[in-house]
Amino acid sequence: MTYSHHAEQHYIHRTGWLRASVLGANDGIISVTSLVMGMAASGASTHMLLITCIAGLISGATSMAAGEYISVKSQSDIEKADLKFEAKELAKNPHLELKELTQIYILRGLTPELAHEVAIQLTAKDALEAHARDEIGINEITAAKPVQAALSSAISFSAGALFPMISILISPDQHLEMMVLIVGILSLAALGAVSSYYAGTSLAKGSLRVTVWGIAAMAFSSWIGSLFQVNPL
């Protein structure tokens, strides 16, 4: 009998880097654009806006990287602690752990006889891997990767923050605030569509969701900035 190789492309393996990348880029666009909008509404000069944008990019990227690393590293530490504890239990009570694994497969729909046989075979192959996957819920695809998450966040935040910076550099002074707003909205719409594409969801819904929340943040920042007028020297 000949078996054909059937490979399916699933989206779950993108969870780690996609979440960090989308969060970073979204935060880069919204936070830095909102910062610039607020400063622009206060009457700040173009030079001051550019400095503000650069400072926002640097501080935001480093903050995102550090926060993402700490957050995901905490998850990784929990996973390692669980695996260490499970390894001890396997060494101390192998028969009880085998029964526990059997019961898991029974609850998933296997007959007791088949569940027991599956548990025996998987335990013989790699007992810790079987318990990590089926009892704890840890597997290679969804396992925490702190460095990957930190780098994805920092790079994507910087990429997102480049949009308001470029709009400042190319816009005439009299239309700067409007150009920053337009570029911010368009970049958010594009980000929402791209992230939805990679997540396998509706491009329109994803784009609209990101854009609406981004506009709300920028409008609020602009309003706050207008309350503090900068006095020209």
- Is the pLDDT at 71 greater than 90, yes or no? no
In angstroms, the Cα distances linking 99 to 38, 42, 83, 150 are 62, 68, 18, 40
In angstroms, the Cα distances linking 95 to 85, 102, 124 are 16, 11, 12
Q: Which letter does DSSP use for residue 142 in this model?
A: T
Can you tell me the distance from the alpha carbon of 52 to that of 39, in angstroms, rounded to the nearest whole number? 8
Residues 5-34: what's their mean pLDDT? 67
Residues 170-197: what's their mean pLDDT? 86
Residues 9-18: what's their mean pLDDT? 51
Q: Pick the residue with more confidence: 142 or 184?
A: 184
Can you give the pTM of this predicted structure? 0.70
- Is the pLDDT at 75 greater than 70, yes or no? yes
- Is the pLDDT at 12 greater than 50, yes or no? no
Can you tell me the distance from the alpha carbon of 59 to that of 193, in angstroms, rounded to the nearest whole number? 27
Residues 81-96: what's their mean pLDDT? 91
What pLDDT sits at residue 1? 47
Residues 105-119: what's their mean pLDDT? 93
What pLDDT sits at residue 101? 92
